[in-house]
Structure 1
Amino acid sequence: MTPITSAVRLTPVVQIASRAPQVASTSSPQALTVRPSTVVSLGQQPTSVEPRTYTAKGTLQAVQGQYVWEQNGLDKLSMYMHSAVQSTSPAARFQGLGAALLEQLAANGGQRISQSGLAVNDGTATEPLLLGMQQARLREHATNSVTFQLTSASGATLSLGLYSSEAGLAVDADVQGGTLTREELKGLAALADSFQSAINGLTREPPQLQLGALVKLDPGLFTGLQMNARLDTASGTQQTFDLHLDEHTRSLKLQGPSGEVKMNLDTQGGTLLGSQAQRQAAVANYLTQFDAAQQRGQGDEQLMALFKDAFSQLNRVDDVSPRPSGHDTAQNKVSRTLLSGLADFDASITQTVQKINPMRPEEADHFDYKVSQSTSRKGNAANLTVQQDQQASLKAAWHKGLNPLVDLMLTRDSKSQNYRYHEVEDASRSTTRLAFANNTLVEASASQEASQQERVRTYQEGVVQTDVTHRTSADQSRDLLNMLEALLDQDRAARRTGAASTLENQLQGLRHLWLLQSAPGQIAP
């Protein structure tokens, strides 16, 4: 019998630390080759061993040992890409890349930029035509992508994109429809850090909204913005992000494995916007309502945090939004005193439905919250009627184990069926109304209403023990005309003596009488 022998051979490959990889372009088809640092061989001498990698879906990834570069160059952007292309996560690949691309576009006067590192197998041909087709597919079929568009005040449109997949990494940027002015180029460079911050936030686990200066565009430089992202998450699923801003409206949508956040805002040309203090008070009131809804409906804290960040940051746009002519006349100020001072909006947060009880699949865990504000103005300046409606609704359901020390694990075994199933359905609304006749304030009123309902079914070993529904509601209507006239008279008297206006401070302590309140107990008698 021939004896069987085995051996382990470790073959190190010499690597030079802190050295940029070699670059090859389509015009000079040399390629960067990535080799394993150690090869383990059993039984015989290895002739050629290539690294094999498994994808997030568990499939064996094709060997990709070389990168062919679209352009030769050692600029800052290319150096970022040379390092980033060897990473696997979207966060690592896009780290610093968005800012570098925006800065380089601003520095070169808006001239077109296109660069890519295409992963190719050792046996792949490097003909320019074939490589060009592969580079185009890399952008068109990217697994992870971020695109960004800006419309300049001078009429030009800037477009840029970052694209990443197993096939490689690519970026491009271009300006069409005109040429950016010197001031616009400076403004573009100033947005680089905020653009990168937004990318960094979206690629975090869990994601965050870090929009920064992107939502405070100088209207003298830029009149519109569009940002879209499609990114892999740690779970292997994807999240999408869409942001749109222009002179009149703004919208945001974020969708991921845990659910969806949607928001649309309209300032009606700026006619609704109040003072910064007024708007901050309204935002704070809404954030309190959002927290209350999340706690009551057992909503996902992270998804609600994204919802709150989106609401706060999109309303910051109005810190720099232009106001229409005549916006600050005395009568216009009075017509906004009982309003929120915010742009009209509709917003929603919807969690992914989960069916965790195989014995009762109809008992789905979910969280659906909607909130909106709409404002109507009728008549002319002398005979004006303004009405603002705010409303919110919550529908939620969840399972909770009877023993807080034991995790709830529901199966088809009746002995696991020990839990409470909660269902919540809430609604709230507020309406404020002001009216003028012949330039005189003749009406100032407010109404608030809120209702809450919770049904709780208790199961022990799969048998219903109790089924209880709790309901509560409250409503209140107020005539605020005398109160408002008294405050306005005091303010006018103070200003005649040269004293500072105290109207905003006095209104601040009264806004709970007309702003949205989601709980019946918050509606004062």
Structure 2
Amino acid sequence: MTSISPVGAASAIQSGAAAAANRAEAPSSKAAAADAVVKLSPEALAASLQGLPRVVDAGGAPLIWESKSRDPITSLIERNYSAQSTAGRFRGLGAALLGSFKGEGADVSQAAQQLPPGTQVAGYGALFSTQPPALHGRGDNQVSLNITTKSGAKVKVTLDSQDDGLAVQMSTSGSLSEGERGALAGLAAAFQGAIDGMTQEPPKLKLDGLTQFDRTLLASVDLHVAVRLPNDPQRTQSLDFHADGAHRTVGIDGPSGAAKVSVDLAKLAGLGSAEQQAKAMGSYLKQVDQAAARGRGDAGLVAMFKDAFTAMNSHVGAPNQPAVGGYQSRQVTLSDEDHAMLTGLADFSASITQAVKSINPLRPGELDRFSYELSQNTSVGGRSQGDRTIAQQQQSSLSAAFHASNKSGVELRLDLTQESQNYDYYQIEDTASSNADMAYRDGLLTRATLSQEARQSTRLMRYEMGRLTADTTTPGHQSLQRDLVAALAPDLKGERRKTADEIYQHQQALAQVHEQVFLRAYPEQSDSAWSVAPAG
């Protein structure tokens, strides 16, 4: 019987042609030939494997393949197999699989796995499995992409990797039109970008491309990624993304914590211009940064949350889309004045929750934590265009606690000794809201109010040599009320402006109103429009 030892795998593969020649020339030696181990030189081995996947890895260990196919995907697996990182293992595979829809885009199933040390392989053919290896869907590092087309066809792509194997699969159920194949191929770079982002160190969300799928041809896109962390292989960072014509959601989960962002694509009446959306995005991200700084949020988790928030709120749709609501479901289209009172982003909810830590062995109940929530909701109603109502609510909340050294220049190192117990323990509870409310009657603006409020609470517990020496709570409360009817509609009689200069001045006034509507959890002290409640 032909065998391959782990040490001599490259020189112990029996040539099928040589075996046939032996049978023809020496019939009486069949038994001997069957049990012989044929030693091939590296040159002869290369010749025998021409056009087939290589059967040893870079270290000379035998590889078992699911299929003998020598196609571009197999070549990529061959090239990537020796990579040490997950990023290297998956490099180019996602793009190649979806990119194949530019051509026939046939189903693919291929895997390469290293044989355990000491394994004896019976014959060259045994290096190609007739059954799919168990690695599919079970790798330590997994990627799964599911796409449903408008016609109902489904495409599934999976990538799996672990120390001793690399596997890919792509399957299609249902027929695909030429346009659908083009739309699938058009996501190749975006799919690979998402994989590359999650497998880099530290992980980064790169979902911008996947949110731009062709909604006229594709109904939904779902991506799941779970990868072991290079610096902590026992822990996993995961990503779950979904997008369809009505919603976008993304969730991330890992050792540092979890985050989620959901965007409502079903109601886009309040969607503003590209400039308005950019300003709103910048304002919200500033709120996140301020909350992270105040509550000592994990920098890596906050960065991924901001990536998710940006991607989910980008490329949402065209501005000024009709809204359906109110009596008899008549369509209402918002004016420039209406958009000035709204942020310009689609409605969303977002949250980030950091993994709780207990870092003080003497007081394990003092937990380091960080939780932040942010949301926006818009409603448009009314009987008709001339009798419409618009309301938008923005809200945020921060709940956090952390330890900090209270000795200048001394690093915080809490242990069981009394000398280490010199620290401050902070507990933060903040909330903020911004409410815009508008109403029209007979085509005239009758109400345009902006109400904003911010509350902060800081509790400080100071310990010196393990003894509580201070326990204070400092509140903060700021509020703002504005009537913006005059700023939005100075000509209540509805007379048309006559000059270009008047039109320009009105647009500038609308831009100034828009600057005021954004949520502010921590108003600037220099902003005299805010009223500050006395502490107590």
- Equivalent residues of 2:110, 2:169 under 8 A apart: yes
1:449 Cα deviation (Å)? 0.2
CA offset digits 1:238-287 (Å, max 9, x no partner): 01100111111100001111111101110334223122122111111101
* Match 2:181 to one of 167, 182, 185: 185
| Counterpart-to-counterpart distance in 2, 1:309 and 1:487 | 43
| Counterpart-to-counterpart distance in 2, 1:246 and 1:468 | 49
- Equivalent residues of 1:24, 1:32 under 8 A apart: no
Alignment of 1:269-418 (within 5 A): 269-319=267-317, 323-324=321-322, 331-381=334-384, 382-418=386-422
For the pair 1:117 / 2:112, whether they are aligned, the reply is yes
Structure 1, unaligned runs of 5 or more? 1-10, 38-64
CA offset digits 1:88-123 (Å, max 9, x no partner): 42111111111122212x133232111111332323
| Counterpart-to-counterpart distance in 1, 2:46 and 2:496 | 70
CA offset digits 1:191-227 (Å, max 9, x no partner): 2222111111101111111223211222233232111
| Counterpart-to-counterpart distance in 2, 1:186 and 1:488 | 52
- Equivalent residues of 2:323, 2:380 under 8 A apart: no
SS at match of 1:493: coil
1:435 Cα deviation (Å)? 0.9
Alignment of 1:8-407 (within 5 A): 32-34=55-57, 36=59, 65-104=61-100, 106-121=101-116, 122-123=119-120, 131=129, 133=131, 135=133, 137-181=134-178, 183-234=179-230, 235-236=232-233, 237-319=235-317, 323-324=321-322, 331-381=334-384, 382-407=386-411
Point out the structure with max Rg over C-alpha: 2
1:71 Cα deviation (Å)? 2.2
| Counterpart-to-counterpart distance in 1, 2:323 and 2:373 | 33
Aligned residue number for residue 426 of structure 1? 430
CA offset digits 1:44-88 (Å, max 9, x no partner): xxxxxxxxxxxxxxxxxxxxx321222223332211101222334
1:22 Cα deviation (Å)? 8.8
For the pair 1:469 / 2:492, whether they are aligned, the reply is no
Counterpart code for 2:426 = H
Counterpart code for 1:151 = T
Structure 2, unaligned runs of 5 or more? 1-7, 12-40, 325-329, 531-536
Q: Bigger CA drift: 388-397 or 95-104?
A: 95-104
1:406 Cα deviation (Å)? 3.2
Q: Bigger CA drift: 211-220 or 364-373?
A: 211-220
TM-score scaled by structure 2? 0.81
| Counterpart-to-counterpart distance in 2, 1:434 and 1:325 | 15
1:294 Cα deviation (Å)? 0.8
| Counterpart-to-counterpart distance in 1, 2:374 and 2:244 | 22
SS at match of 2:315: helix
| Counterpart-to-counterpart distance in 2, 1:509 and 1:449 | 19
Counterpart code for 2:110 = Q
The total of aligned residue pairs comes to 479
| Counterpart-to-counterpart distance in 1, 2:416 and 2:42 | 59
Seq. identity, % = 33
| Counterpart-to-counterpart distance in 1, 2:149 and 2:410 | 58
Instruction: Tell me how large the CA RMSD over aligned residues is.
Output: 3.4
- Equivalent residues of 2:86, 2:141 under 8 A apart: yes
SS at match of 2:415: coil
1:331 Cα deviation (Å)? 4.7
SS at match of 1:100: helix
- Equivalent residues of 1:152, 1:224 under 8 A apart: yes
| Counterpart-to-counterpart distance in 1, 2:444 and 2:262 | 34
| Counterpart-to-counterpart distance in 2, 1:35 and 1:337 | 62
Counterpart code for 1:93 = R
